[in-house]
Amino acid sequence: MSVNYQYLLSIVEQSAKKNPSITILDYGCGRGQIIKLARSKNINIFGAEVFHNGPSVIQQLSEDKLFGDIIREIKDDQLPFLDKFFDLVISNQVFEHVPDLDKVFHEIHRVLKPTGTMIALFPSKEIFREGHTGIPFLHWFSKNKTRYTYTLAMRNLGFGRSKKPKELTSVQWVEKKLFYMDTKTFYRSSDVIKNLLDKYYFWNHREEDIINFRAAQLKNIFGDVLIRMMKIPGFRQLGNYAFTRLAGYLIIANPK
């Protein structure tokens, strides 16, 4: 399980411990990893997903008796849940994949209780490294020949994420990744994100929370030192800024 998932699962567990009757939504839940673990601990959590990856995921969730009730399909950005249904909505690396972020924020606002909270991890356009390809600054380029040439050059230099890199030539890898970026990613500037959040929520950055969580997971002297350093105001600001540029945002929001 990724560190982000571990962090969000810890939030889910802590929230359920404080309020056993809490109702939670994992927005963009993927294969339902968090949901399966949380439900095994009798936590009342649901999921919502677009299922871009096709029927295989739906089939597996159906076999696990999760699809249709516990995990529901998002269609046209509409969440198939009642108004003011959830106390907590979590989301991991999803908002950079939605074409209409305004509509998504509105829908999450709709299903949140007035006292509810949204906790979301996602990158802005200002992030230095495009996470789905592993190529620095790739999402800053316009869709043109320069972008293609840059991506191919970086791939040939050894940059780039790929689970099975030997199965594709550099050209094939570049074409596949650029197609994915053009059809599945929608990076937005911090100003755009801020304005959309302001429309529906009272919110703030809390990158320090996941920095401290990651540091604690190290279980070594480096992690201990980092936790201590994050208590120093100037260093905390620097650490938060670095996280937003290297990993993305951690936003905690409450409905207006």
Query: What 3-state DSSP class applies to 116?
Result: strand
Show me where the domains of the chain are located.
3-125+187-222+233-238+247-255, 129-184
pLDDT interval class at 66 (50, 70, 90): confident
Type and span of the H or E element at 155: helix 145-156
Q: What is the pLDDT of residue 164?
A: 60
- Per the prediction, the chain carries an average pLDDT of 94
Give whole-number Cα distances, 106 to 78, 134, 198, in Å: 10, 31, 11
Residues 113-170: tens digit of each pLDDT: 999 999 999 999 999 999 999 999 999 999 999 999 999 999 999 898 775 656 789 9
Q: Is 65 left (phi over 0), alpha (psi -120 to 50) or beta?
A: left
Taking only the tens place, the pLDDT of each residue in 85-125 is 999 999 999 999 999 999 999 999 999 999 999 999 999 99
Interstrand relation of 71-73 and 44-49 (parallel, antiparallel or unpaired): parallel
Per-residue pLDDT tens digits for 29-56: 988 999 999 999 999 999 999 987 667 7
CATH architecture, domain defined by 3-125+187-222+233-238+247-255:
3-Layer(aba) Sandwich (3.40)
